[in-house]
Amino acid sequence: MNDVKVYAHRGYSSVAPENTMAAFRRAAEAGADGLELDVHLTKDGHVVVIHDYTLQRTTDGTGRVKDFTLEEIRRLDAGSWFGEEFRCERVPLLEEVLGLAADRDLYLNIELKNNQYPEPGLENRVLELTERYGWTGKTVISSFNHHSLRKVKREKPDLDTAILYMSHLFEPWEYVQRAGLSSIHPYWPTVTKEMAESCRERGLPLRPFTVNRAGEMRRLVSIGVEAIITDKVETLLEVLRDDR
Ligand code: G3P
Ligand code: MG
């Protein structure tokens, strides 16, 4: 029997606007084990949940997240772009998602989106909040910025830290151990059976992203990944049911 975990990418983002409470709630209701979310810092140092470093794709605002205060960002509509019924959705605070995770006993994959521009202090703010909510045991901090992950690991050695990457790295299981980090979150086309075996031998969780096709999900389940990050929660749950 497989016990592959289902992480809803940006929440259940194929049925609700990404990175909103509506998307996170729908993921929990559908039966996802965990949530993936992206975080940035506001001008006044709050951790907000949004993918891009700019506002225009997923809200009715424009400009960079870091140039606005929380109060200004909270006035924006983060749902209408996806559907009129989501007009009331706001850009969530990380605290809100931590609260939901605590209520529903969900895993969290918090992605630090500081790979394009530096966001000084983001790591410590995120650590402070996950600790305040008692949510370090079921949290993984991931990032394309591996320096940032090392900072997290130095501050909190027991916390799971996952490298994100897009390309075909040579022996990523060696790299992650050399960097002193603990998990591997690769772009799905780069994942091989050999990779899954090497990770398993070393006790390194392997959680590919973002897998939306049933055939690919089946292949990854069969080679023994620990979790799959997907926009299509129901599709993955169905694949897992069929496999059991
Ligand atoms: O965590 C995996 C995935 O979220 C990384 O890419 O751009 O969707 O944040 P992106
Ligand atoms: Mg992400």
Which residues, 6+ apart, have CB-to-CB distance to 77 below 8 Å? Answer: 59, 60, 87, 88, 89, 90
Structure tokens at 233: 């929660």
Could you give the number of structural domains in the chain?
1
How many CB atoms sit inside 10 A of residue 216's CB?
Answer: 17
pLDDT of residue 2: 76
First to last CA, the chain: 5
Q: Which domain holds residue 183?
A: 5-243
**Which secondary-structure segment (H or E) carries 23?**
helix 21-30
pLDDT in tens, 92-150: 999 999 999 999 999 999 999 999 999 999 999 999 999 999 988 999 999 999 999 99
CA of 40 to the centre of ligand 2 (A): 11
What are the Cα distances from residue 137, in Å, to 20, 43, 71, 141, 192?
23, 29, 31, 11, 28
Compute the average pLDDT of residues 172-197: 98
- The span from the CA of 75 to the CA of 91, in Å, is 9
For residue 71, the one-letter residue type is: E
CA of 209 to the centre of ligand 1 (A): 7
CATH code for the domain of 149: 3.20.20.190
* pLDDT higher than threshold 60 for residue 1: no
**18 CB less than 6 Å from ligand 1?**
no
pLDDT in tens, 53-103: 999 999 999 999 999 999 999 999 999 999 999 999 999 999 999 999 999
Mutate to test the pocket of ligand 1, among 7, 9, 142 (most ligand atoms within 8 A of CB): 9
pLDDT in tens, 207-234: 999 999 999 999 999 999 999 999 999 9
